[in-house]
Amino acid sequence: MTFLEALSAGFTLVAQWESIFFLGLGVTIGVIAGAIPGMSATMAVALTLPFTFALQPIFGILLLLGVYKGGIFGGSIPAILIKTPGTPASSATALDGYPMAEQGRAGEALSMSLYASCIADLISNLALIVFAAWLASFALNFGPPEMFTLIVFSLTIIAGVSGDSLVKGIVAAGLGLMLATIGLDFIAGTERLTFGSIDMRGGLNFIAVLIGLFALPEIISYMRKSEAQDHRVRGMGYSRLKWLDFRRCLKSIFRGSAIGVFLGAIPGIGAAPSAFLSYSEARRASPNRENFGKGELEGVAAAEAGNNGVAGATLIPLLSLGIPGDVITAIIIGAFMVHNLTPGPLLFLNNADIVYALFIGLIASSLLLLIIGSIAIRLFRYIADVPSNLLFPGVLVLCVFGVYAVNNSIFDVAVMLVMGVVGYIMLLLRVPAAPFLIGFILGPMLENNFRQAMLMSRGDLSIFARGPITILFLCLTAFSVVMIIRATMRAARLKREMATYAKTSQASGTQD
């Protein structure tokens, strides 16, 4: 089959109303599932999988991809409205999205999140189509040493999400890293910090920690000062995104998409680190740096571009090498296998029509996401009008159900509640939650890749300088650290000067 024949065959496959129907259905399921706290995109894809067995291959796969993309976007809706990230990937969105909602700018934040998602999604799909082969061979160069240096570099994003105090951010990240060590030791299989509990052997559930840390502290602080806020309607959700604001964020969206494509192509990283990296890069480059974390539109745009930029790119290792890049693509591989399609280089030879149909379908999915997403936003933003005394108890119930449903485990609910108290204490002490979460996400990757690399080299640290990739990331890390130290010292000096200036002016004031 020539390229053109395959392309036209693929087009015929997609140009059936069923294709568009299943794609749209998938996006709808995904957006709704993503918007329910605790019901992550991964779960939605897993639950949809059995329904695809009976469908034609192309319809089944388009349905799953629709769920995937819808789910990643859907997670941002509760992240913005109720500070409860629907999927782990949207926790970076909550950092600025929720403050915006509190200021009555939920509509603006939601629209920004949708546009950033769709643009990043489209860029990611185009990258998949154009650069698949090239990016796949690049991704194969990422062994444990390369991954370790990349994760070390990613840890520098802690500085970008620490808020006022870098020290507090580092403390929080350290706690997150420590919490991630609970469970079975990855290399030796021994138990660590499990206190003999069977439930602790598997480690702490990610979703439980996430929801406990982000959503519950809000609810607890509402409970403690509820009279003042009772019946307070935030009365919002109708603010519109202005064209000028949108254009200001475009740079961050493109940067976030590129980060997403890059991290998505490397198997095993996932959307959450990408969202945080994109966010911290946007903050570093933005003239509105001070406003990040307090309701900055650009922060929402960067975070959403970062996580949706991953969506198309994770299909690169899947389609060109047959390797699942994350948990979701591992499930999608199952759908390929059910229909006797083998992901990998052979797919392009044997089933070129399916591959091109998939490509065309992916492009269509970005458009469908835009349409279905704007309908969803219109429906969901009424949540913003629900009075707090009704909204918060409802959120609490949803959180409990959602966390229970992940693994049908009451232990996970207990983890969520304990993390909620921890999160509230952190809130009172003004210790930021985002670095904690980053530590918790990256901790296992950091440790596992380091130890795998040490096994490979039999304990020789020089393996971390074995090639251009590791050296590049080590240099980038060193550069970032120097920049962070300089920026922190400058800020400290500025503060000191302000203080002395205030003192002297005060002193001179009394002399007069």
Partner 1 sequence: MKTTLTALSMGAALATALPALAEYPTRAIQMIIPFGPGGATDLSARALSTPLSQIIPQPLVLTNRAGAGGATGSVAVRDADGDGYTLLLARVGSHTVNPAMNPNLPYTLEEFRFIGVYEINPVACVVRDESEFQTLDDLINAVQDRPGTVLYSSSGVGSLPHFGALMVLDAYGIGDLDENVIHIPTEGDGQGLTAVLQGTADFFCGSTSPAAPFIASGQMRPLMVTSSERLEGFDAPTVHELGKPELAALVGWTGIAGPADLPDDVVEKWGEWLAEAVQDEDFNRFMTTGGSIVELMSPEDSVKFVNDAYEIFRRLVVALDLEIE
* Site residues, partner 1 (CB under 8 A): 42-43, 45-46, 49-50, 53, 140-144, 183-191, 198-199, 201-203, 267-268, 321-324, 327, 330-334, 337-338, 340, 342-346, 407-409, 448, 452, 455-456, 458
- Cβ proximity to partner 1: between 346 and 483 the closer is 346
Helix (H) or strand (E) holding 306, with range, is: helix 297-313
Tokens read off for 227:
């009279």
CA 220 to chain centroid:
25
184 forms bridges with which residues in the sheet? 191
Vertex 219 angle, CA 28 and 110, to 5°: 35
Q: How many residues does the chain have?
A: 512
Closer Cβ to partner 1, 47 or 476, answer by number: 47
Q: Is 105 helix (H, G, I), strand (E, B) or coil?
A: coil
Closest approach, Cβ 186 to partner 1, in A, equals 6
**SS3 (DSSP) at 191:** strand
- How far is residue 271's CA from residue 256's CA, in Å, rounded to a whole number? 11
Residue located via tokens 């509760």: 78
Convert 315-374 into a string of H (helix), E (strand) and C (coil).
Answer: HHHHHHHCCCCCHHHHHHHHHHHHCCCCCCHHHHHHCHHHHHHHHHHHHHHHHHHHHHHH
134/127 Cα distance (integer angstroms): 10
For residue 203, the minimal CB distance to partner 1 (Å) is 7
Question: Given the complex with partner 1, which of 104 and 268 has the nearer CB atom?
Answer: 268
Residue owning tokens 């219109």: 378
Q: How far is the CB of 268 from partner 1 (least distance, A)?
A: 7
Tokens 């709704």, residue?
32
**Minimum separation from the CB atom of position 298 to partner 1 (A):** 35
CB of 144 to partner 1, least distance (A): 6
Rounded distance, CA 265 to CA 123, Å? 13
CB of 345 to partner 1, least distance (A): 5
Closer residue to partner 1, CB minimum distance, 324 or 402: 324
Within 13 Å, how many C-alpha atoms sit on residue 81's CB side? 34
Indicate the residue among 343 and 361 with the shorter CB distance to partner 1.
Answer: 343
**Closest separation in Å from C-beta 145 to partner 1:** 9
Backbone angles phi, psi at 184, to 5 degrees: -75, 135
Residue among 30 and 203 whose Cβ is closer to partner 1: 203
Contact 9, 352 (CB under 8 A): yes
**Residue entry with tokens 């690049």:** 138
Determine the Cα–Cα distance for residues 193 and 177; give it in Å rounded to an integer.
Answer: 13
144 vs 169, beta carbon nearer partner 1: 144
We find the least distance from the C-beta atom of residue 269 to partner 1, in angstroms, to be 12
Identify the CA nearest to 314 among candidates 260, 252, 272, 253.
260
Shortest CB 409 distance to partner 1, Å: 7
**Nearer to partner 1 by C-beta: 6 or 43?**
43
How far apart are CB 429 and partner 1 at their closest, in Å?
Answer: 32
Shorter beta-carbon distance to partner 1: residue 67 or 303: 67
- And the tokens for 22? 């299943």
Q: CA nearest 113: which of 385, 380, 373, 378?
A: 373
**DSSP of 386-442:** S-HHHHHHHHHHHHHHHHHHHHT-HHHHHHHHHHHHHHHHHHHTT--HHHHHHHHHH
Minimal distance in Å, beta carbon 322 to partner 1? 5
Closest CA to 14 of 361, 460, 472, 252: 361
The owner of tokens 């994760």 is 151
What angle, rounded to 10 degrees, do the helices at 271-285 and 243-265 form? 130
Select 213 or 333, whichever has its Cβ closest to partner 1. Answer: 333
Q: Minimal distance in Å, beta carbon 458 to partner 1?
A: 7
Looking at the Cβ atoms of 123 and 266, the one nearer to partner 1 is 266
Residue number with CB closer to partner 1 (125 or 329):
329
**CA end-to-end distance (rounded Å), the chain:** 91
Nearer to partner 1, 332 or 360 (CB): 332
Give least dist CB 49 to partner 1, A: 7
Helix (H) or strand (E) run with residue 192 in it: strand 191-192
